[in-house]
């Protein structure tokens, strides 16, 4: 998540309303309170939210309103959470989902 992201806060509209601490793939960061998880990741410069289970292609949000399912993340242990519909909370743990999900305890290549 380094380099130029897709969106930035603009002073003409940005509101100061405190901040919360979250972890993104284990990395601690401070984000503005009140943002959706998807918006917070975009402000952090995220360019890849997940890789598709089928072809491993990188994806990022398309709709920001709950209909494209491109912003799916693991949030506090729940996979396939729609990150554009969930607000950041202090202590939230967020994980990107790369490729097909594996059931707990399953090893690479094991038959489902």
Partner 1 sequence: MTDRPDVLIVGAGPAGMQAALRCRALGLSVVLLDEQGGPGGQIFRHIEHADRRARNVFGDDYAAGHALARDFLGSGTTYLRHAIVWEVAPGPLVYALVGGHSRVFEPRRVILATGAMERPAPAPGWTLPGVIGAGAAQILMKSSGMVPEGPFVLAGSGPLLYLLAQQLLRVGARPAALVDTTSPGNRMRAVGPLAGALGSWRVLLKGLGMLGDIRRAGIPVYAGATHLAFEGDGRVTGVAFRHRGRPHALPANVVLTHQGVVPDTQLTRALRVPHAWSDSQLCWLPATSALGELSSTQGIFLAGDAAGIAGAQAARLLGEVCAWAVGEQLGVVDPRRRARETDPLIRRLARWKALRKFLDTLYRPADGQRIPADDVLVCRCEEISAGAIRGFVREGCLGPNQAKAFGRCGMGPCQGRQCGLAMAEIIADERGVEVGQVDVLRARFPVKPVMLRDLIV
Residues engaged in binding partner 1 (CB under 8 A): 4-10, 12-15, 32, 35-36, 39, 42-43, 47-49, 52, 54-55, 57-70, 72, 78, 80-82, 85-87
**Rounded to the nearest whole angstrom, what is the least distance from the CB of residue 84 to partner 1 in the complex?**
8
Q: Which of 66, 76, 24, 15 is nearest to 45 (CA)?
A: 24
**Rounded to the nearest whole angstrom, what is the least distance from the CB of residue 51 to partner 1 in the complex?**
10
Q: What is the DSSP letter of 79?
A: E
**Rounded to the nearest whole angstrom, what is the least distance from the CB of residue 15 to partner 1 in the complex?**
6
Q: What region does 76 belong to: left with phi over 0, alpha with psi -120 to 50, or beta?
A: left
Which is closer to partner 1, CB of 7 or CB of 23?
7
């Amino acid at each position: 998540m380094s380099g130029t992201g897709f969106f930035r806060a603009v002073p003409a509209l940005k509101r100061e309303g405190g901040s919360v601490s979250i972890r993104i793939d284990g990395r601690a960061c401070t984000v503005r309170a009140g943002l959706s998880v998807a918006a917070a990741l975009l402000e952090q410069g995220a360019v890849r939210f997940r890789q598709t289970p089928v072809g491993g292609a990188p994806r990022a949000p398309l709709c920001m309103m709950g209909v494209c399912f491109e912003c799916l993340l693991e949030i506090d242990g729940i996979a396939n959470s729609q990150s554009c519909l969930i607000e950041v909370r202090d202590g939230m743990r967020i994980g990107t989902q790369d490729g097909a999900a594996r059931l707990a305890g399953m090893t690479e290549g094991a038959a489902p």
